[in-house]
Structure 1
């Protein structure tokens, strides 16, 4: 895909000379590190500072922990500097292709899905700005992109199942892949404690009947029909109880993650998408853990 640069963007991206970064604080060191990593991307200091202020503020103590080169590249992509999107795709394209393969997206659909992902990240729509602008530099850009790719793959699978675009056996294999899941490994390495604690707290906040139904469903692995028989209710009622408890748990987990994690709302949504895809495994572990 081609980079698009407006006249206003171009005017703000001229090369600027400035004083020693050490004399201007953490944001200037961040800019210098990013510029050194991507010397061909001529990102103006003023534009970079505006991006810093948008996410953390130039005086924030968080600046010291940001991934400078990744943040600089994402800022350049957000401003659509010439060569920025090509640099991003060259650096991370193979990773995202691996994500789609690991999620068993059929080859016939992979090209379209990959193109849709890049457009969502780098181009956007009038009602939905390009998502690359949401990257705040708090974690590796490659990991952030992998989460976005996983979420898109999951959405594709759900839509394909509903529209019967892909045979059920292929989707079932994708749901329970035999090989280790690199995206789940990334999630665990980055947010494992926060996610587990949020799930645990959200579960504790459910009503007793919702917890009991989820325990029967996730831990005891009772079918909807068996749960209906246990409670002496209609099958449709049992299905509603399970769905209600599941969604209440996810809503509670999302609210807790938004308060606990210092990341953008879009990233919390992506994390929750992975939690949703692995909820059965997570819940089984929580119910087995000693209280």
Structure 2
């Protein structure tokens, strides 16, 4: 790339990265992705957040899309600097991650509030809880056992031991929004699997299935605390 103007060099580097050239990818990492922390410092200064944005950009800019689309770096046409292109992409990715974290937090709060209201106001739910208590416990235990070791450990640390999201992020070297997303996905899988097992085992009618689904969601967090408090009970 010697003798090229800065814009020509940037374009050649982008094309080489698009072609999967290892040397070019190393240069891109060193000259552009290493600067991501500075690009997003006004949004979040933590190293873990910068690492998450950096990984997001690796996927968005350098990996082919699932739908067959070219990697995002193909959009760079040499107008302006490649550094400026990466900066814009980094800020956009950082803002998206923050929005996702806020939505996840709001969704979890709403779910807990709804569950609490249902528990307080629904005699049908209290009846379902008593009627299916043993079956629910077995289905929940089986659902948790199907999770990955990482997800079981995360749920135990968060629900049973009260470890904060920030501490979990530091433990796994990811941003707290990633930990929050992992926990949400794990709980959703547990709820879906538990409900499916209960419905199959008890052959519930649609009206009963609705009450049981509400019972599963209302009891999920407190049941996880009890179940995961004794790690020996989860395979």
TM-score, with structure 1 as normaliser = 0.37
For the pair shown, the structure with the greater C-alpha radius of gyration is 2
Could you say which structure has the greater relative contact order, defined with CA pairs below 8 angstroms and 6 or more residues apart?
A: 2
Structure having the higher helix fraction is 2
